Amino acid sequence: MAFFDKFRRPKLSGPDTMRARLEGAIAKRRLRGWNPPLENINALVAGGGPRLLARSRELVVSNGYAANACEAFAANLVGDGIKPSSLIADPDLRDQVQRLWLAWTDEADADGLTDFYGLQAMIAREMFVAGECFVRLRPRRVEDGLIVPLQLQLLQSELLPFDKTETALNGNRIRCGVEFDAIGRRVAYHFRRSHPGDVTDQGPGNTGTTRVLAEDVLHIYRPIDAGQIRGLPHIAPAMVRLFLLDQYDDAELDRKKTAAMFAGFITKTAPEDPMMGEGEADPDGAALASLEPGTLQVLLPGEDVRFSSPADVGGGYEAFQYRTLLAVSASLGLPYHLVTGDVRQANYSSLRAELVEFRRRIGQLQHGVMSHQFCRPVWQRWIETALLSGALRSSSANQLRPVQWIPPRWDWVDPLKDIQAQILAMEAGLTSRRKVVEATGFDIEEVDRENASDLARVSALGLSYRASPGETQGARVTPASKPETPGSDDLPVGSQGSSS
């Protein structure tokens, strides 16, 4: 027995045991060539950011799947807008603030192209394409005639240079265009005066950079690593697959187009003999033969005609496309049908399971990025500006700041089942009516005011509304008195009278 003991494999202990458990850390055989550098994400962004950004913008413009995914991402992230619901205790003051905010949203855009909620959609698209967007808070003069003298200016990622990494004159560090103080706080942004790719805005006064205080700039991006300074395009994980798939589709389409141009080939024993048909020559000197419907051609001895039969794409083409687009959808974090528009293989269960997971991810971005980095700071600055300009009157700004941001409602595959489930949850005390209404994207107090107004109008007009299962809701005139003998006009809708 002692003879075989020396051939047994020794037991691993200490570092060897840990190395065996961490299979991804071994450096033998299969993984010998896998040696990625241990680089910080900021170094990767500083080195490859400009090229990644340029490719991302070109892909979203030229690739149909990328363009559709961008629009789907923005539509689900912000929809028709993430809207505020003030939490002020005083109902009159709360209503005044809400009405003033609603009026100001039409003047929020410094370029005058859209409103506050349209700016949200533009930010969402920039997050998909560039991974980040900058919003500059622009105070205005009272004589400018704005309801609240404040506007928002959107700045693209290219305006903040990736390569501006140096030490400022005041001793602060500048990293990728962002200036940090001694304890790591953002104190300023060094923006270019004009877009580097805009040849229509290249003047002598538009060169160099300008320093903008951080308190006047909102940097909206999704940090994926601790300490990350700049954002990464949301489309980045799928860029290579989308680009190569687009090239493959173009090559396949061009191959089929070229093959379809050749109807047939004629083999001749004597090149000087005339071809079938009238025989013409193109500008390059190549002889061509034309065919007309019903043509019967007698061939000379030794001539042969072979018709073109180009190869088809094959039965695996669609399966390959499907699998590739599935990988693209997974890389983008979007459901397959939102990227491709293909719902042939979808059903209620698969669509709902897919949407539930997707909306969890969207909910993270809505609350952790859009609301926290954009909506809340804008609300606070707007409250302060409204008080200073006299548009609002209050003893303290802290009294007006409490607010909650309501994301847009979700449209489910079968809304009837969801509404029934919400009603059961309210009746069981598992949720409140406020939560249910806010989940639809509306303010409960606004809904209650509208319901009260509708009921008052219905009562004043002598109408009654009736909605029961299986019956469509509609307005019915309440009769003043019921006739003793009902006639044909008094029969319920859908019933038929019998003749005798």
Confidence of residue 22 (pLDDT cuts 50, 70, 90): confident
33: pLDDT strictly greater than 90: no
Distances (CA, A) of 376 to 149, 328, 391: 18, 33, 19
For the residues 382-406, what does the mean pLDDT come to? 89
DSSP string, 191-226: EESS-TT-GGG--GGG-SEEEEEGGGEEEEE---ST
What is the overall mean pLDDT for the chain? 82
| CA–CA dist 189, 197 (Å, integer) | 20
* pLDDT at residue number 466: 66
This prediction's pTM: 0.77
Residues above pLDDT 70, as percent of the chain: 78
* pLDDT at residue number 316: 79
Buried b / exposed e along 217-249 (16+ C-beta atoms within 10 A) = bbbbbbbeeeeebbbbbbbbebbebbbebbeee
Confidence of residue 474 (pLDDT cuts 50, 70, 90): very low
| CA–CA dist 285, 412 (Å, integer) | 64
The pLDDT tens digits of the residues spanning 91-144 come to: 889 889 999 999 999 999 999 999 999 999 999 999 999 999 999 999 999 889
* pLDDT at residue number 237: 93
Query: What's the CA angle centered on 77, arms 75 and 80, to 5 degrees?
Result: 55
- With tokens 């005798």, the residue in question is 500
Of the listed ranges 3-7, 78-82, 354-358, 371-375, the least confidently predicted one is: 3-7
The pLDDT tens digits of the residues spanning 265-286 come to: 666 666 565 555 545 556 666 6
For the residues 48-57, what does the mean pLDDT come to? 93
The pLDDT tens digits of the residues spanning 183-232 come to: 999 999 999 998 888 888 777 667 789 999 999 999 999 999 999 999 99
H or E, element range at 300: none
476: Cα within 13 Å, side-chain hemisphere: 14
| CA–CA dist 61, 10 (Å, integer) | 61
366: pLDDT strictly greater than 90: yes
148: pLDDT strictly greater than 50: yes
The pLDDT tens digits of the residues spanning 281-333 come to: 566 666 566 656 655 566 667 667 776 666 666 667 888 889 999 999 999 99
Of the listed ranges 17-21, 126-130, 424-428, the least confidently predicted one is: 17-21
* pLDDT at residue number 270: 61
* pLDDT at residue number 394: 78
Q: At 493, list the tokens.
A: 């809708």
Sign of CA dihedral 234, 240, 244, 250: positive
Distances (CA, A) of 285 to 209, 269, 288: 60, 20, 9
CB atoms within 10 A of CB 186: 15
* pLDDT at residue number 411: 76
| CA–CA dist 433, 427 (Å, integer) | 10
